[in-house]
Amino acid sequence: MHVRRKLVAGNWKMNGSLDGLNEVIAIAEAAREASGVDVAICPPFTLIAPAGMRSAGGVRIGGQDVHHRASGAHTGCVSAAMLKEAGASLAIAGHSERRTDQHETDAEVRAKAEAGLAAGLDMIVCVGESDAQRRAGDHSAVVERQLAASLPDDIGGAELVVAYEPIWAIGTGNVATPADVAEMHAAIRAALVARYGDAGQHVRILYGGSVKADNAAELFAVADVDGALVGGASLTAAQFVPIIEAAARS
Ligand code: PGA
């Protein structure tokens, strides 16, 4: 039996402002109370440093993306070392919005994950099928292909986390059913163990896609759901704290 602490990570996407950082303070207070749960907020790059200072260590702060190179002529990009200097201890790679908007490939996602881990950032690598792929019955094959090509071979250095985020569930209110989540998380666990051996048992697998206070407990009860990656409901303490509490009770 492998006991994995739950991780509840908020992805603020292109939302938030200095004025809104009171939410991080309230979230950090709740996170300190929620023993046994790791809590993170990934705000826009510009808010990483102030969010870290305002939350005073109560919550982990992460980046929503990272470049695979340490420095150089890459306008608009941010390296792992830069994220760390700003106070981040983790980062997301391969979110479906970046795979779509920035045309990121599995190979690029893998390079980002490798660079982040090597620099000591815990890396949340996202995978998930589209609505059309699920309707065609291709969801498992799509996710297995993404895992094979997006995850690094060497997962030493820092912690690898996988987030299963079906694209049709993100920002839509259409949460995946516990049965669908169970099927996919079991398949992801099997792929991780096949690839990494016993280390694959320690990789946390988050579910993401319309996680809210009223569905979190049901999702956290599913085997191999080791937490959640939360978008919209992570923007305010009022919505995010009940999800943290559900993780603490699970
Ligand atoms: P959502 O976003 O919770 O707003 O559906 C999840 C995500 O994109 O990580």
Q: Does 95 qualify as catalytic in the annotation?
A: yes
pLDDT of amino acid 3: 81
In a domain, 80, yes or no: yes
The whole-number average pLDDT for the span 121-144 is: 97
Q: Which of 104, 129, 165, 245 is catalytic?
A: 165
229 lines ligand 1 (CB under 6 A): yes
pLDDT of amino acid 198: 95
What confidence tens digit (pLDDT) does each residue in 17-63 have? 999 999 999 999 999 999 899 999 999 999 999 999 999 888 999 99
In a domain, 144, yes or no: yes
In a domain, 94, yes or no: no
pLDDT at 228 over 70: yes
Are 90 and 66 in contact by the 8 Å Cβ rule? The answer is no
What confidence tens digit (pLDDT) does each residue in 60-85 have? 999 999 999 999 999 999 999 999 99
Domain count, the chain: 1
In the beta sheet, which residues pair with residue 227?
7
pLDDT at 1 over 60: no
pLDDT at 191 over 70: yes
176 lines ligand 1 (CB under 6 A): no
In a domain, 96, yes or no: no
142 Cα to the center of ligand 1, angstroms: 19
pLDDT at 138 over 80: yes
Calpha distance 115→109 (Å, rounded)? 10
Calpha distance 14→57 (Å, rounded)? 23
227 lines ligand 1 (CB under 6 A): no
19 Cα to the center of ligand 1, angstroms: 22
Q: Which atom of ligand 1 is nearest to the CA of 170?
A: 5
pLDDT at 134 over 70: yes
List b or e across 13-28, with b for residues whose CB sees 16 or more CB atoms inside 10 angstroms: beebeeeebebbebbb
Task: Indicate the pTM of the whole model.
Answer: 0.97
CATH code of the domain containing 145: 3.20.20.70
pLDDT at 13 over 80: yes
Q: Where are the beta strands (DSSP E) in the chain?
A: 6-11, 37-42, 60-63, 90-93, 122-127, 160-164, 204-208, 227-230
Are 204 and 229 in contact by the 8 Å Cβ rule? The answer is no
Supply the mean pLDDT for the chain.
96
* Percent above pLDDT 90 for the chain: 96
- Binning pLDDT at 50, 70 and 90, where does residue 225 land? very high
pLDDT at 244 over 60: yes
What confidence tens digit (pLDDT) does each residue in 147-171 have? 999 999 999 889 999 999 999 999 9
In a domain, 214, yes or no: yes
In a domain, 132, yes or no: yes
pLDDT of amino acid 156: 84
Which structure tokens are listed for 177?
A: 């059913």
* Percent above pLDDT 70 for the chain: 99
Q: Which atom of ligand 1 is nearest to the CA of 234?
A: 3
In a domain, 239, yes or no: yes
Q: Which atom of ligand 1 is nearest to the CA of 233?
A: 3
Domain of residue 220 covers 6-86+103-249
143 lines ligand 1 (CB under 6 A): no
In a domain, 97, yes or no: no
pLDDT of amino acid 64: 98
